[in-house]
Amino acid sequence: MNTIEWLCRLIAYDTTSHNSNLALIDSVANHFLSHGLNPWVTKNEDYSKANLFVTIPAADGSEQGGLILSGHTDVVPAEHETWLSHPFRAEIREDKLYGRGAVDMKGFIAAVLAAVPAMKSARLKYPLHIALSYDEEVGCLGARGMIEEIQARGLKPEYCIVGEPTGMKAVLAHKGIHVFRCRLHGKPAHSSLPDLGVNTIEYAAHLICFIQKLAERFKQPSYHDPNFNVPHSTLSVNTIRGGHANNIVPSFSEFHFDYRNLPQMSVLDVIKPISDHIRHELEPLMQKTDSRALIEIDEIVSVPAMSASGSPKITGLLNVLETTAAKESVSYTTEGGLFQQAGIHTIICGPGNIEQAHRPNEFIELAQLAQCDAFLERLIKAFSK
């Protein structure tokens, strides 16, 4: 099958993150088996989802080293009523292919799968690996286990291309993402006697204002990196809940906040000032009324940023692939930071525009798929004897 045929098949699998991806994984595994390859899978705890990894060995049979082509199989939800066509039935209109996951990022996966026969027939100097993960959209959950398995098997890949949509320009850096859950435990009271209670909504409001001030501080030029289109780290509170009734002082509240950090900034740059404010300012006030009152913060999502590497290895890879690095780094997060953290030289490069991702009527331009096909042809040629 060609790239467009593969993409139509992949879109037909509803791999929204709350669903299983096993049907898609089984279909792709059978494709590899039909070409004499031996894929392996790693599954999540309840065996409802799987990563898939396969190696096309070098001509001398070696499976160590080489390059990974990486993509995630899950997609974000699609509300059918906001689409002009069925989100899980691919449709070509004019020069675009529509469907959930078309650009993020089944388009890249389709091009890679279509290129498998060419990879298999080439006399490769180095092995090529294909890595498909689950649950990237909800915290890059699958990639962690897959990278651990790659290391356990001693494969030691040298390079990785993560095929997120970049318009086929090589991106060398992206922000990290960290999501925190904040839980406030107070004391209930009748709303006619509020001083007898510890109102967790009020203290949540104080803490949210503090977080917002911290976010404003990061906008100062001294924190900027001009290579990013949003040149500073960001903080935002995105969900909140609390209270039981209009006449009860709320004893419990919870909110979540999201930290998108530049590669040169760490989690401590955010969590330390917030924790200090809680311990030295808010909790002492709460505990004047009830010594058991407290505020808890847990990190529930953590994906590292990817730093721009000046490594000659990356420069050499870009030259071989006849592509140049994009001038702008990206503010979204990918699995690339995890591969880089594992010591693998990584770039982000794939077909399509990120602006089309996570939206109704998601599409990828057919010309972008053609560019990706040509890119993979150059890669196979460069890695062949």
Q: Each residue of 303-336: pLDDT tens digit? A: 999 998 777 888 888 887 887 777 778 989 999 9
Q: In CATH, which of 3.40.640.10, 3.40.50.10320, 3.60.20.10, 3.30.70.360 is domain 176-303?
A: 3.30.70.360
Distances (CA, A) of 206 to 115, 173, 213, 283, 370: 55, 34, 11, 12, 53
The per-residue pLDDT for 169 is 92
Averaged pLDDT, 352-381 = 96
Return d(Cα 299, Cα 378) in angstroms, integer: 42
Burial of 246 (0-12, 13-18, 19+ CB in 10 A): exposed
pLDDT exceeds cutoff 80 at 72: yes
Written as six digits, the tokens of 383 are 């890695």
Share of the chain above pLDDT 90, in %: 92
Written as six digits, the tokens of 52 are 């898939």
Residue 375's H or E segment, with its range, is helix 366-382
Burial of 301 (0-12, 13-18, 19+ CB in 10 A): middle
The per-residue pLDDT for 325 is 78
Return d(Cα 131, Cα 142) in angstroms, integer: 11
Distances (CA, A) of 375 to 123, 132, 326: 18, 19, 16
Residue 120's H or E segment, with its range, is helix 116-121
Q: 3-172+306-383 is classed in which CATH architecture?
A: 3-Layer(aba) Sandwich (3.40)
The per-residue pLDDT for 324 is 74
Domain limits of the chain?
A: 3-172+306-383, 176-303
**139-164 burial code (b ≥16 CB/10 A, e <16):** bbbbbbbbbeebeeeebebebbbbbb
The per-residue pLDDT for 315 is 84
Averaged pLDDT, 120-128 = 96
Residue 15 half-sphere exposure toward CB, CA atoms < 13 A:
31
The per-residue pLDDT for 385 is 78
Sign of the torsion angle spanned by Cα atoms 168, 169, 173, 175: negative
**Do the two domains 3-172+306-383 and 176-303 of this chain adopt the same fold?**
no
Return d(Cα 215, Cα 270) in angstroms, integer: 9
pLDDT tens-digit readout, 217-269: 999 999 999 999 899 999 999 999 999 999 999 999 999 999 999 999 999 99
Dihedral, CA of residue 354, residue 356, residue 362 and residue 365, to nearest 10: -80
CA 94 to chain centre: 30
The confidence band for 80, taking pLDDT boundaries of 50, 70 and 90, is: confident
Helix residue spans in 295-365 (DSSP H): 312-320, 336-341
Poorest-confidence range of 162-166, 292-296, 324-328?
324-328
Share of the chain above pLDDT 70, in %: 99
Spatial CA neighbour of 134 closest among 161, 105, 160: 105
The angle that helices 366-382 and 3-11 make with each other, rounded to 10 degrees, is 120
pLDDT exceeds cutoff 90 at 119: yes
Spatial CA neighbour of 228 closest among 270, 171, 177, 266: 171
Cβ(78)–Cβ(172) below 8 Å:
no
The per-residue pLDDT for 279 is 97
Residue 147's H or E segment, with its range, is helix 141-152
Q: Is the peptide bond before 105 cis (omega within 30 degrees of 0)?
A: yes
Give SS3 for 11.
helix
- Write down the mean pLDDT value for the chain: 95
Residue 284's H or E segment, with its range, is helix 283-287
The per-residue pLDDT for 365 is 98
Helix residue spans in 183-267 (DSSP H): 200-218
Catalytic residues: 74, 136
Return d(Cα 337, Cα 366) in angstroms, integer: 29
